Structure 1
Amino acid sequence: MKSSSATVLATIFALLAIAAGQQLSLSPASPLNSLDPCKYFENVTDTTQLSHHEFVAYEQCVYYFLASKAQKNSAKFGTVHPIATLPPTYAENAPSTVKVKIGQITLQHFQLNEFVKDLNIVGYMQVEWPDKRLAWDANQWRLDKLQIHSANHIWIPVLSSQAYETSLRNDDAMEVRKLEANSAGNVSAIVSFSLKTFCDDTDFRHFPDDVYKCCYQLEPHFNQELIEFGVDGQPVFTDPKYFRDYGWSVSGTVPTVNADPSVVSQLNFCINLQRSSSAVKIELAVPTWVCSIVFLFTPFMGKIRVQLSVKLFLLLLQFLTLQLFSNRIASHLGSASATPVLLAFHEFAMVMNTISIVASVLIWMLSRIKRTLPPWGWLIKASQIINRFICVFNSVDENDGAFELEKGGLPGESNPNSRYQSDWEGAFLAIHGVAVTALALVFIIGYIVIR
């Protein structure tokens, strides 16, 4: 009984509420008609006196006034909410194209994958375009700028980093923020982006001073035939508050647009990254230069055996340096087809040192062979000139240049065979000096060519 009574009472109250609502809605003198929020702002003369929530409501009134006006002017198109769905070219006396001006492009963060040579950048750019449907009388509304609180409320140019068929395939993303319109009908926005592209690694031969050139191309995603890009001539900037270089020197080019009206309007800009880590340069350059200088100074080491020992030790150092190169550069090789100049020069130095070792061993072995005939006269004279006037080569082993005594010979008597052997040793000493000097010159010329 109690439950049935409660049900009856609830039904009666519901019917009374419905009847009261119908009476209020049908009565022209109902106080609900006076609750139109925009009528509250009819006598506003100074918008700065409004509180925050009142100013937001006031902006909504201005927006809906403009949207209603655009709806009436575009009634012939039969489009719902045309101010958000139709481009500005559908406005009265509007031009046939929409000129979208790209302002400052600011880079906040980047991530470079040196193995696959791709670059992901995060930042934002300023975008402006005209829309006469969002123009109003500033004297009537006491308002110069109107903040649009949702990107769905007006038409915005949707951009993509590639052509329509392949757009967003690299997880590219864009987000429109801080939409504002002024009384003249110009709209501005901040477009945050996350873009990825593949870099040009042809400069990898200059590692560790190589430069990665990574270029981006923006196109309209929709209404491609209506949008024309424009730029203000400012290069790509880096945000000093959030940007970190991670050991790279980052510079951006000035954005450009294609001037051919027969193709889709495109915005192009590039990001150049140059390695600026001095520690890597020192780690790789110092061992190479040390090995090269020691190689050039081996002819000044005196005896052939001493020079040979130094060059063998130098070859060991070069192999250790090659292992250092492998550990430091192997992770960066990836798809690069070019060989770094530093590595190519080190390879050339190892080859030249090996040739010099072989030449020293052969000449030293030839000088140890016992001979019973004297060398040619011109060879004796040439070797004497070389060994006399180029003192750096005038160094022989203690036993090599001494006249040996035959067994059983008198100390005061000289052996002709020993004299011949001494002449041959002097000749080979001169030949060795000329050979290592020629290899040093070839080494210097090779460095100039490789560089």
Structure 2
Amino acid sequence: MLAIVTRMRKSLSTLALLCAALFGYAFAQFPPGAGTSLDVCKYFENVTDVQTLTSHEYVAYEQCLYYFLANKAQHTNVRFGTIHPIATLPPTYAEDAPKSVKVQIGQITLQHFQLNEFLKDLQIVGYMQMEWEDKRLAWDPSQWKVDKLKIHAASHIWIPVLSSQAFDTSLRNDDAMEVRKITVSPRGNVSAIVSYSLKTFCDDTDFRHYPMDIYKCCYQLEPHFHQEIIEFGIDGQPVFTDPKYFRDYGWSVSGTIPTVNLDPRVVSQLNFCINLQRSTNSVKIELSVATWVGSILFVCSIFIGSIRNQILVKLFVLLLQFLALQLFSNRIAPHLGASAATPVLLAVHEFAMVMNTLSIVASVIILMMSRIRRTLPPWNWLIKASQIVNRFVCVFNTVGESDEVEMEKGGNSPSSNSFSGSRYQADWEAAFVAIHGLVTSLIILIFLLGYLLIN
């Protein structure tokens, strides 16, 4: 055991002597302070054409330019005692800088959208261009042979952080923004692409025009930090859709021109809206054909013939209208709007069903009154009026088969009283035919006027 311990001590002594020798050699070759004089960016001092640099050398050259600007900003803002001021302090801290930062919003592009018709909210994904000026990032192009500096990380410089305000309260959890593709010009003009994913509630008060209704979904962007110094500017271009990635999914999408709030007493705001109109013609045809077929048959029922035939046709039309109502319930019920508006097609269908029901009731009452046997003739003015109506409006001059049989029976009877009773009954039936024609015509006229008012 003692021998083993002695051997371990000798080995450790030998290892210590070897380490001391290596450290002494390194100290002799690289004395203290020699490494502090090395500067990697000195390698690029004699560069006259950046085109001769390789890709990794050009990236290193951009890093040297960035650290040169960051070191300059550090010395300028040393009185504030801020670490890395070029990334933490806004551009208003630069020398001779204005008191506010003008953030110019360029083209807003929409790449994808997702509409939830049950919750009435819209989520959009896309990007927009953003520009602002930061004098601390300006450099001399004659000294640094580049006309554009690419910032590889958004945390390296100060950027305006935006947030979407769904209401006047706070930021929504479903919203996200990312600043990328940041470039700087020699004058200090910074441009960037902001990718966004925003969500908002939509205004569906246009549900009256279903299935051609319009959803109006508006968004509001505000500065999340430094709200008192940031001002928005716009270029007057509407919201665009990216033809490479955008899919309409059966909706006609249009964007408004963004607007800004220029009132200095409130926080600067950027507002824009997305309008979505349903463009599925199959749904429109499916709903409109059922409505118009029932309405046209109801209007044309007056030309069918006798009162009994008209009642049968109107009952058939009423059955079709009830079947169409079930179709409306299956189609529209899942998309009922938040407002009390009723779609025009459904309102027309409802009005046609009510008028058809009133017409059926009126026809049944008049038919029942015409079947009552009477022994006295109608008033003279009623006979003349019914003759005028039935003569000039030929569609009302219709007599049922039972009426003709009764008239033939009355004509073959030898009794003058029977003949007179049949004659009186014929006059009464002609009068009721004229009354029925006028009543049904009035109901159809009311329906046509109501249709014009509903539209």
- Would you call these one fold, judging by a TM-score over 0.5? yes
Report how far residue 141 of structure 1 moved: 0.5
RMSD (Å) for aligned C-alpha atoms? 2.1
Query: Matched residue of 2:327: which SS?
Result: helix
Q: Tell me which amino acid in the other structure corresponds to 2:421.
A: N
Q: Return the match for 1:447 from 434, 444, 451.
A: 451
Cα 1:258–1:9 shift into 2, 3 Å: farther
Tell me the distance in 2 between the aligned counterparts of 1:223 and 1:350: 62
Tell me the distance in 2 between the aligned counterparts of 1:424 and 1:136: 106
State the Cα deviation string for residues 144-202 of structure 1 (Å, max 9, x = none): 10000001100000000118984432410000010111100010100000001111111
Query: Matched residue of 2:389: which SS?
Result: helix
Cα 1:164–1:94 shift into 2, 3 Å: farther
Q: Tell me which residue corresponds to 2:370.
A: 367
Tell me the distance in 1 between the aligned counterparts of 2:20 and 2:397: 126
Report how far residue 17 of structure 1 moved: 5.3
Query: Matched residue of 1:139: which SS?
Result: coil
Report how far residue 405 of structure 1 moved: 3.4
Q: Tell me which residue corresponds to 1:417.
A: 421
Q: Tell me which amino acid in the other structure corresponds to 1:203.
A: D
Q: Tell me which amino acid in the other structure corresponds to 1:72.
A: H
Tell me the distance in 2 between the aligned counterparts of 1:374 and 1:6: 145
Task: Note if contact 2:166-2:200 (Cα within 8 Å) is conserved in structure 1.
Answer: no
Q: Return the match for 1:116 from 107, 114, 119.
A: 119
Query: Matched residue of 2:275: which SS?
Result: strand
State the Cα deviation string for residues 189-245 of structure 1 (Å, max 9, x = none): 000000011111111111011111111110000000000000011110000000000
TM-score by length of 1: 0.95
Q: Tell me which residue corresponds to 2:270.
A: 267
Query: Matched residue of 2:220: which SS?
Result: strand
Task: Note if contact 2:250-2:278 (Cα within 8 Å) is conserved in structure 1.
Answer: yes
Q: Tell me which amino acid in the other structure corresponds to 2:355.
A: M
Report how far residue 377 of structure 1 moved: 1.1
TM-score by length of 2: 0.94
Report how far residue 37 of structure 1 moved: 1.8
Task: Note if contact 2:239-2:255 (Cα within 8 Å) is conserved in structure 1.
Answer: yes
Q: Which runs of 4+ in 1 moved over 4 A?
A: 1-25, 32-35, 411-414
Cα 1:146–1:366 shift into 2, 3 Å: same
Cα 1:290–1:12 shift into 2, 3 Å: farther
Report how far residue 142 of structure 1 moved: 0.3
Q: Tell me which amino acid in the other structure corresponds to 1:352.
A: M
Query: Matched residue of 1:418: which SS?
Result: helix
Q: Tell me which amino acid in the other structure corresponds to 1:442.
A: I
State the Cα deviation string for residues 249-299 of structure 1 (Å, max 9, x = none): 100011111121111100011101111111111111111111111111110
Tell me the distance in 2 between the aligned counterparts of 1:263 and 1:185: 28
State the Cα deviation string for residues 76-123 of structure 1 (Å, max 9, x = none): 000000000000000000000000000000000001111121110000
For structure 2, list consecutive stretches of 5 or more residues without a partner in the other structure.
Answer: none
Q: Return the match for 2:57 from 54, 58, 61.
A: 54
For structure 1, list consecutive stretches of 5 or more residues without a partner in the other structure.
Answer: none
Tell me the distance in 2 between the aligned counterparts of 1:437 and 1:5: 126
Report how far residue 434 of structure 1 moved: 0.5
Q: Tell me which residue corresponds to 1:283.
A: 286
Report how far residue 338 of structure 1 moved: 1.4
Tell me the distance in 1 between the aligned counterparts of 2:245 and 2:47: 42
Q: Tell me which residue corresponds to 1:328.
A: 331
Matched, 1:438 2:419: no
Q: Tell me which residue corresponds to 1:131.
A: 134
Matched, 1:197 2:169: no
Task: Note if contact 1:135-1:185 (Cα within 8 Å) is conserved in structure 2.
Answer: yes
Task: Note if contact 2:127-2:194 (Cα within 8 Å) is conserved in structure 1.
Answer: yes
Tell me the distance in 1 between the aligned counterparts of 2:68 and 2:127: 31
Report how far residue 412 of structure 1 moved: 9.3
Cα 1:122–1:396 shift into 2, 3 Å: same
Task: Note if contact 1:99-1:228 (Cα within 8 Å) is conserved in structure 2.
Answer: yes
Q: Tell me which residue corresponds to 1:253.
A: 256
Q: Tell me which amino acid in the other structure corresponds to 1:383.
A: S
Cα 1:106–1:11 shift into 2, 3 Å: farther
Matched, 1:36 2:39: yes
Task: Note if contact 1:248-1:273 (Cα within 8 Å) is conserved in structure 2.
Answer: yes
Cα 1:12–1:241 shift into 2, 3 Å: farther
1:152-163 alignment runs, 5 A limit: 152-162=155-165
Query: Matched residue of 1:297: which SS?
Result: helix
Aligned residue pair count: 449
Q: Tell me which amino acid in the other structure corresponds to 1:434.
A: L
Report how far residue 410 of structure 1 moved: 2.7
Q: Tell me which residue corresponds to 1:229.
A: 232
Cα 1:7–1:269 shift into 2, 3 Å: farther
State the Cα deviation string for residues 329-367 of structure 1 (Å, max 9, x = none): 111115343111111111111111111111111111111
Tell me the distance in 2 between the aligned counterparts of 1:205 and 1:18: 88
Q: Tell me which amino acid in the other structure corresponds to 2:198.
A: L
Tell me the distance in 2 between the aligned counterparts of 1:265 and 1:442: 55
Tell me the distance in 1 between the aligned counterparts of 2:348 and 2:27: 93
Query: Matched residue of 2:426: which SS?
Result: helix
Tell me the distance in 2 between the aligned counterparts of 1:310 and 1:273: 41
Task: Note if contact 1:200-1:212 (Cα within 8 Å) is conserved in structure 2.
Answer: yes
Greater mean deviation of Cα atoms: 38-47 or 332-341: 332-341
Report how far residue 432 of structure 1 moved: 0.6
Q: Tell me which amino acid in the other structure corresponds to 1:367.
A: S
Tell me the distance in 2 between the aligned counterparts of 1:70 and 1:302: 96
Query: Matched residue of 1:405: which SS?
Result: helix
Tell me the distance in 1 between the aligned counterparts of 2:9 and 2:392: 132
Query: Matched residue of 2:402: which SS?
Result: coil
Report how far residue 49 of structure 1 moved: 1.1
Task: Note if contact 2:121-2:200 (Cα within 8 Å) is conserved in structure 1.
Answer: yes
Tell me the distance in 1 between the aligned counterparts of 2:371 and 2:177: 79
Tell me the distance in 1 between the aligned counterparts of 2:248 and 2:212: 15
Tell me the distance in 2 between the aligned counterparts of 1:40 and 1:315: 92
Tell me the distance in 1 between the aligned counterparts of 2:41 and 2:306: 104
Query: Matched residue of 2:156: which SS?
Result: coil
Tell me the distance in 1 between the aligned counterparts of 2:171 and 2:28: 56
Report how far residue 371 of structure 1 moved: 1.1
Greater mean deviation of Cα atoms: 114-123 or 326-335: 326-335
Query: Matched residue of 1:137: which SS?
Result: coil
